[in-house]
Structure 1
């Protein structure tokens, strides 16, 4: 191994919406990160880069993966910025974990102890791709059963989404594999009818997580407002499988649920605020979801309301908005207060801008 392969680098990227409401992304720094890669060292490096770019007081949140060192670095950076009173709401919304990474951890938990039917698909794909002669024979099978020109994907065991794509492509070529089983005596991995049905069920279950991951990984549009509805669909799917009759999916969903609960409770509040500001959802959708999960007039929904009110108050104070009545977030929709409406509209415009204004993504190798 080349000694220099062990070097560490850090990439700091900022995402913001410009005055024309266009999402922008800029790499602020791709720099060598000498050891130690401690929380303090990372925090100091990030802080110096923010100061260098004049962004020290313009960061709303920072997004990282779940490494323990990253948690320490964010805590240290938050404390340092709070000493100068530079964070909104004292940094209550400062630390955001990467949503795609969280979903990856959740699904990986469920994929532990791979089902034998998935192993058969993996071995089938390896067999077909093992030599040019086998590839040619499989292509002849594809042509005979008219399963189309879709490629056959091989997975990487550490990436569950590649396993999903492998299963999806195998299902598409199911009849080709069955035909290969008839004409090739060396092919020993063709799933049975029951196993094919199980694979289809796995694919159907994982699809909602795969689609959500793709949505969170978008680069040409803001994604914070998409988190809450997408993760709610994951919640519904997990609940459905845990209460269903399929024992394999029930076990898988139960494993995933433990991880899901941990991250849902930790970050649903902040990202629900972004959902409120999306005119397609607003407060009605948040109320609906919290009611479905926690029941009517839940303590969790009250906490969310309090968090939203505090964020409103912070922007009202810092940007000298017109005074609003104390019931700016009241649930009484029968009375319209024009002053409150104007203030809330101004708040929405400002916070939509600032909520996505600077989101730094840190990747340390």
Structure 2
């Protein structure tokens, strides 16, 4: 029996070992398949059954390996290993639902197992002790698994890539955007109560916080106070002096407003223009009242009365009185350079306008006819169509085809208008240059005004009686203001490296003759101003370096006292020797060195502020002067432009706004969006082109040279 038992046990044991080897090979094969292959459907389910024969009288043993959806199961009945030494159940399970959405990553440098989202790549620790809570929550909020309508999402551009992000409503940002919209587009506060706007906002975000007009006003005023602090810090931190422009304006309700604008070059050598105040100016508008108002604004609101250099005003009589009063008040504390000698400038654009108006009186009738003609043509669509049809000989043909047209100009009148157009274009171009606010204008005044001077002189000597008569009409007023122009504008030309002193001498020679007293006076004022800046530079910073910095450096580089004493004795001996040997050799100043250098090519493109920024260490004193002088505006256009905005804010429907609210809206618009408005320039250029085409129409043109001129309605 023992033999039989042994004989039966032998085959069973052999079969068991064989089946065990087959089972191990299957497990190894299954392990070789990656989860990615399972996910992609290369193997959706594997069932492996190994059924053994009865072992020692027991029933069938079953071995099953299930592999499904990233979950591995290996189940072996206990009895299968009953006869083995390691009779333990073999079971390895990844049953969590998150395994379908995450990939197991290779071990990192820290040896920790991590998993990554299959959609967005977000990583989490995958050890069992950390649980799967983070991954479960990520599945619900994964941005790339969001199946909602695209209209419920926002496109963000973080890190320079496009991604989908859920909408997050920021109440404070919403209020700020509403205030910015009202200020930028000169909208009424009632804008936030428009039914159409509210419906649109509620459609975009049902839980939007709707506000009312009083809330919108409060937000705008709050924004004004916030921005005013920034502007105040900017003007106080300005390294140079500040030039002002100012003008008066009356609203529809006859309320007076004073606009005060600051012009300066900041620490980065960029020209800045900021409206400081647009405040109510109650009557009387006398010179003394204006002076007191401006000083109170400079002292109380901004604290910059000690940084003022010049003020540019128009030619009203009250302004002459106010300038004298303001200059006296500032000079009491010695706040103005050269005791205010250069403090007052007259608006050059306004002066040219007055001069041209005198000249136009000679052709008032012709100009009036042209203006009436344009009005007549634009009065109806039918007239515009007729004008376009007969544009070649526009006004003559219009008279023939339209019996109601009574403003026809004769050939002689057209000839006069064409001459006046060419003659007055010089003054028009100069006015455009003087009206700039985004570039320096003080260095451009003299070349342009000398061009006007030469044009007038040429017309006075002309044989054309019509032009000569017009020039005489203009010459008297030109002489009046020419004799009263500020010498600081001549000095400004010296700081243009394309011109320097040579062109000043050239212009003065043309205007006053050889070795004129005016040229000598201008040189003297330039040298005195340079010496004044040099004295302040020596007292304050020692060639532009802060005394505290010098003291700190000397402290850090300290050497033993005995060595210093010996070195001082040697250097003093050297100083005495040098002073004796070179005492008779004059040392050139920065001004002389600068003027001795060759000029920059006049036709080369030049950013004059960039030039002085790059040379501020070579010529620190001259750079200080250039910063102050080149920021001087030669016209009051910057302040007058604010009145256009004022007219839009204080229109017939909002004329009851308080002056404080008007000031807040206009100043904040200038501070936030003042550098973005270039559309006015484009409109002006379009207008110039249209005017040029209309005025240049010649009565002698033939049919082959026809060009259409369209008048847009």
Alignment TM class, shorter chain as reference: 0.7 to 0.9
Query: Residues 10-25 of structure 1 correspond to what in structure 2 (within 5 A)?
Result: 10-25=258-273
* 1:139–1:11 Cα change, 3 Å: same
Q: Which residue number corresponds to residue 281 of structure 1?
A: 499
- The reply to whether residue 85 of structure 1 matches residue 303 of structure 2 is no
Q: Does the aligned pair in 2 maintain the 1:60–1:356 contact within 8 Å?
A: no
In the alignment, the residues of structure 2 paired with residue 3 and residue 99 of structure 1 have an alpha-carbon distance, to the nearest angstrom, of 25
In the alignment, the residues of structure 2 paired with residue 96 and residue 10 of structure 1 have an alpha-carbon distance, to the nearest angstrom, of 18
- The reply to whether residue 313 of structure 1 matches residue 561 of structure 2 is no
1:253 deviation in Å?
1.1
SS in 1 for 2:412: helix
* 1:332–1:12 Cα change, 3 Å: closer
Q: Does the aligned pair in 1 maintain the 2:362–2:470 contact within 8 Å?
A: no
Q: Which residue number corresponds to residue 427 of structure 2?
A: 209
In the alignment, the residues of structure 2 paired with residue 287 and residue 352 of structure 1 have an alpha-carbon distance, to the nearest angstrom, of 20
Larger radius of gyration: 2
Q: Does the aligned pair in 1 maintain the 2:257–2:279 contact within 8 Å?
A: yes
* 1:324–1:351 Cα change, 3 Å: farther
* 1:202–1:332 Cα change, 3 Å: closer
Pick the aligned partner of 1:233 from 448, 451, 454. 451
Pick the aligned partner of 1:300 from 518, 531, 556. 518
Query: Residues 86-235 of structure 1 correspond to what in structure 2 (within 5 A)?
Result: 86-142=335-391, 145=392, 175-235=393-453
Q: For residues 5-51 of structure 1, what are the alpha-carbon distances to aligned partners after superposition, in whole Å with 9 as ceiling and x for unaligned?
A: 12111011101111222111111111111122121111111111111
In the alignment, the residues of structure 2 paired with residue 76 and residue 50 of structure 1 have an alpha-carbon distance, to the nearest angstrom, of 14
Q: Which residue number corresponds to residue 626 of structure 2?
A: 352
In the alignment, the residues of structure 2 paired with residue 247 and residue 231 of structure 1 have an alpha-carbon distance, to the nearest angstrom, of 24
In the alignment, the residues of structure 2 paired with residue 254 and residue 3 of structure 1 have an alpha-carbon distance, to the nearest angstrom, of 37
SS in 2 for 1:114: helix
1:190 deviation in Å?
2.4
- The reply to whether residue 40 of structure 1 matches residue 288 of structure 2 is yes
Query: Residues 245-264 of structure 1 correspond to what in structure 2 (within 5 A)?
Result: 245-264=463-482
Query: Residues 318-357 of structure 1 correspond to what in structure 2 (within 5 A)?
Result: 318-320=536-538, 345-357=619-631
* 1:28–1:332 Cα change, 3 Å: closer
1:184 deviation in Å?
2.7
Q: For residues 44-95 of structure 1, what are the alpha-carbon distances to aligned partners after superposition, in whole Å with 9 as ceiling and x for unaligned?
A: 1111111131211111100111111111111101001111000000000000
1:4 deviation in Å?
6.7
1:180 deviation in Å?
2.0
In the alignment, the residues of structure 2 paired with residue 332 and residue 108 of structure 1 have an alpha-carbon distance, to the nearest angstrom, of 40
SS in 1 for 2:259: strand
- The reply to whether residue 49 of structure 1 matches residue 297 of structure 2 is yes
1:325 deviation in Å?
5.0
In the alignment, the residues of structure 1 paired with residue 523 and residue 251 of structure 2 have an alpha-carbon distance, to the nearest angstrom, of 53
Q: Does the aligned pair in 2 maintain the 1:62–1:94 contact within 8 Å?
A: yes
In the alignment, the residues of structure 2 paired with residue 134 and residue 95 of structure 1 have an alpha-carbon distance, to the nearest angstrom, of 50
In the alignment, the residues of structure 1 paired with residue 270 and residue 617 of structure 2 have an alpha-carbon distance, to the nearest angstrom, of 24
1:240 deviation in Å?
0.8
Q: Which residue number corresponds to residue 277 of structure 2?
A: 29
For structure 2, which runs of at least 5 residues remain unmatched after alignment?
Answer: 1-249, 544-585, 598-614, 644-713
- TM-score, scaled to structure 2: 0.43
Q: Does the aligned pair in 2 maintain the 1:59–1:357 contact within 8 Å?
A: no
* 1:219–1:327 Cα change, 3 Å: closer
1:332 deviation in Å?
9.8
C-alpha RMSD over aligned residues = 2.9
1:252 deviation in Å?
1.5
* 1:130–1:79 Cα change, 3 Å: same
- TM-score, scaled to structure 1: 0.81
* 1:75–1:327 Cα change, 3 Å: same
Q: Does the aligned pair in 2 maintain the 1:14–1:358 contact within 8 Å?
A: no
1:314 deviation in Å?
1.4
Moved more, 48-57 or 183-192: 183-192
Q: For residues 128-186 of structure 1, what are the alpha-carbon distances to aligned partners after superposition, in whole Å with 9 as ceiling and x for unaligned?
A: 223332122112223xx4xxxxxxxxxxxxxxxxxxxxxxxxxxxxx322332333333
* 1:102–1:73 Cα change, 3 Å: same
SS in 2 for 1:220: coil
In the alignment, the residues of structure 2 paired with residue 50 and residue 21 of structure 1 have an alpha-carbon distance, to the nearest angstrom, of 23
* 1:90–1:332 Cα change, 3 Å: closer
1:343 deviation in Å?
10
Q: Which residue number corresponds to residue 75 of structure 1?
A: 324
The number of equivalent residue pairs is: 327
